[in-house]
Chains A and B, each alone.
Chain A
Amino acid sequence: MTHQPPRPGPVAAIGRRLGGHHLLWPTLTLLALLLGNVAFQHDFFSVRVRDGHLYGSLVDILQFGAPLTLVALGMTLVIATRGIDLSVGATVAIAAALACGHISTSARPGSVTTVLTAVALALGVAVVLGLANGLLVSGLGVQPIVATLILMVAGRGVAQLITGGQIVTVTSAPYKMIGGGYWLTFPFAVLLATALVVLTALLTRRTALGLLIESVGGNPAASRLVGIRAGGLLALVYVFSALCAAVAGLMISSNVSSADGNNAGLWIELDAILAVVVGGTALTGGRFSIGGTVLGALIIQTLSTTVYTLGVPPETTLVFKAFVVVVVCLVQSPVFRAKVLRRRGRTTPRPRSTADAAPHQQEVRA
């Protein structure tokens, strides 16, 4: 068990700071999934450099997992305030449609200026969308699930309007860089996602933002009496969530060089919520773990990769994923683990895989 899962460096640092046990189960789960893949594909862990680019299954997981990681990152802060943001998938589609639409109609789609304008346009609109969610939640007191459901449904329509119901394709080398390019042998998307994760970790943990968000999510009534202005914080996390979704939308559309108003980021909100929960942030708000969310997103992406590695027939893919997710959630549930351990203790006290995990705790923590 000395092998470390491939994960961005700063996550390990955050992990240490939060205390290893927060991330123990997500880490073990990710390891188990990765090792499971080795059984079916022996060179799963091999990473090669070809044409100055990194290649390998692990690199693929990181690269294709980057958009989900970003959406889950924004979702983490929203969930920490006891909220939820269902509109991120629609925001992904809108951002993709805006950026691709701008580039495809521009005279010089290949110029860096055009691409930067497109990115600014997408991010600017995301701020507006996030602000709308935030004001509905904090200003009007609409339940987050309802407030963001509006944009979840309407947003797809908006994306359709922008693309005129077509799939907009773009040919632009600088735009392709965002989601499909490489920089210093690394996939640019991975570098971008890593940078944003580190930035968010610094922003929440080096300022008092994290503490205040956890306080508002953990006990809104007490936070009010302590003088925390929850309204501004709530608006901020929804704007941040929309921005993360917009960057994810740029990555996704850049990777396939097209924007599909219907399918870009479809159901990504559900994967993101799952990533956050698997990563150890409770839907009831309060304590959040950015490191856990990154692990959660990687677990879900690894699962998608596993489906291909194992050659699961396409029609059973969703059932397979659902089954693994249920197992992952059960393994991570302290209540379930306690029950299983107790039952084992009563009947046959021989060590099994679940019961076996406990002695490793020290080892992994160290």
Chain B
Amino acid sequence: MVSPSTPRPPDPGGPRPRPVLEARGIHKQFAGTVALDGVALRLFPGEVHALMGENGAGKSTLIKVLTGVHPADGGTLLVDGRPQAFADPLQAQRAGISTVYQEVNLCPNLSVAENILVGREPRRFGLVDRSALRRRAAELLRELDLDLDVTAPLGSHSLAVQQLVAIARAVDVSAKVLVLDEPTSSLDREEVAQLFTLVRRLRDRGAAVLFVTHFLDQVFDLCDRVTVLRNGRLEGEYPIDRLTPMTLVQRMIGGELATLDQLSGRARREAAARTTGEPFLRARRLTRAGAIEPYDLDIHAGEVVGLAGLLGSGRTEAARLLFGADSADGGEVGIEGEKVRLRTPRHAIARGIAFCSENRKAEGLVGELTVRENIVLALQAARGWTRPLTRAKQDELARHWIETLDIRPADPEAQVRHLSGGNQQKVLLARWLLTAPRLLILDEPTRGIDIGAKAEIQKLVARLAGEGTAVLFVSAELDEVLRLSHRIAVLRDHRMVATLTNDGSVTPERILTTIATGADS
């Protein structure tokens, strides 16, 4: 970790001007959890700077500190070398720091001109001067080489143009520092190119641009320097030409790679045996626009297929199509050789497919219902309301699964929202396991839960596969995917780039290379 107080080695690009925005030793805690621990960041005029890190590394917290959304608990912010403290986003804007968030937060029903200048409308005699409003907005867009009808409602333009208008608005507020938080996540290739042209023009005008993204190639395409965060700490600051995609991914994921425990050989030995014969589920050219490019996937009974890839690579999106949680735009799915359409979760459930969402709170549990009610919910939904499980049967099922999965507290009548993350995950698993699924899709089943529960869930997955259940295992943790999976599908930029058989030749490094380069070397 680079200490922010020690002088840095000079940049290879020669002497630079003073940073326009510098953060030193930033600390931030939320309810006892350290989100940022002594993080530093320097933004120079005329550079595009990437902020990289895995999910939970502290990127968004840092942005929120820089833009005045959250005050820092410790550390200094320097704007043009002078210490500053922002109490709210408005103060940060006045100091010349603007942010464009992932979701365009403009009003689609207002005109382009109104969106650009809302809150700062040119006035005459206390009233909005409409012609001056249009003129100034048009001037501003012309400066950025954008030719738009400023009187048209914003909503009539494409999402990319809306994103550009949001940037135009931010630039008008301040041209000093522009923070772009995942601006490309909903744009297609040409739209991204259009956005990058604008960002480069702003850079050439002397603005500092902080760019947050999950897309590696965009970082190498656009950025001059990179700051990498890991687990709330500064991992380092690098000129882009000192990095390769591979080394960048390694820095994001960290030294844990070296200490990966040795994988049990079982999964590998059995890999060959499991993947022969008719698959339980066969997906061909399955796709959904904007979510996942067409992909092929086979899952056999008793086989664990892992989905690996960085966050935002399309792992979840690919898995959701197989459950009908989102409906596919194209491609087909066969179950045991029979072509099926999985338009809603009900269709998938009827075919013996179960799905534990990565988002336990929002998409998994019904928080105010009890553990018992949450456990029987899927089975009861399948039976319909006219065929209720008797209370005795419910109690029996709840007791059985609380015991089998060691759910704590072992109280079937406890409200599920009061349980810890690991126990909530077990309740979710119990809900599906009691329906005896043929294919179990687990999206990040071990995220945010403690080590003990994690190991128990991993063991459970291995046991289920041993008993003949097909499992699709989605996880950001490579060691976990490697330990459990017979085969591993690797995703990158919403595309399935490779399927590796876990036969002993697959190492975390090989998966990382595949993620970084987009091909299995």
Contact = CB atoms under 8 A, between A and B. Distances in A.
Contacts of B365: 219, 222
B380 A212 contact: yes
Interface in B294-351: 323, 325, 344-346, 349
Contacts of A221: 362-363
Interface string B346-384: 100100000101000011111111000100111011111
B385 A227 contact: no
Contacts of A85: none
Given A207-B388, A208-B388, A208-B389, A226 B367 contact: no
Given A226-B431, A227-B349, A211 B377 contact: yes
Nearest to A19: B413
Nearest to A286: B368
A227 B365 CA distance: 13
Contact of B369 (A207, A208, A215): A215
Contacts of A226: 345, 377-378, 381, 431
Contacts of A211: 369, 373, 376-377, 380, 385, 388
Contact of B366 (A209, A233, A286): A286
A304 interface: no
A206 B141 CA distance: 65
Contact of A223 (B366, B367, B388): B366
Q: Looking at A211, A215, A221, A228, which has the most chain B CB atoms within 10 Å of its CB?
A: A211
B369 A227 contact: no
A302 B431 CA distance: 45
A134 to B, nearest CB: 16
A269 interface: no
B262 interface: no
B367 A219 contact: yes
Contacts, number: 80
Contacts of B386: 207-208
Interface string B43-75: 000000000000000000000000000000000
B345 A222 contact: no
Nearest to B356: A225
Q: Looking at A214, A227, A287, which has the most chain B CB atoms within 10 Å of its CB?
A: A227
A229 interface: yes
Given A208-B388, A211-B373, A222-B362, A227 B381 contact: yes
Interface in A200-255: 206-209, 211-212, 214-215, 218-219, 221-229, 233
Given A218-B366, A225-B364, 12 more contacts: A207-B386, A208-B385, A211-B388, A215-B366, A215-B377, A222-B365, A222-B366, A224-B344, A226-B345, A227-B378, A227-B382, A287-B369
10 contacts: A207-B386, A211-B369, A211-B377, A219-B363, A219-B365, A222-B363, A222-B366, A226-B377, A226-B381, A228-B377
Interface of A: 206-209, 211-212, 214-215, 218-219, 221-229, 233, 286-287
Closest 8 CB pairs of A and B: A208-B388, A218-B366, A227-B349, A208-B385, A228-B381, A219-B366, A209-B385, A227-B381
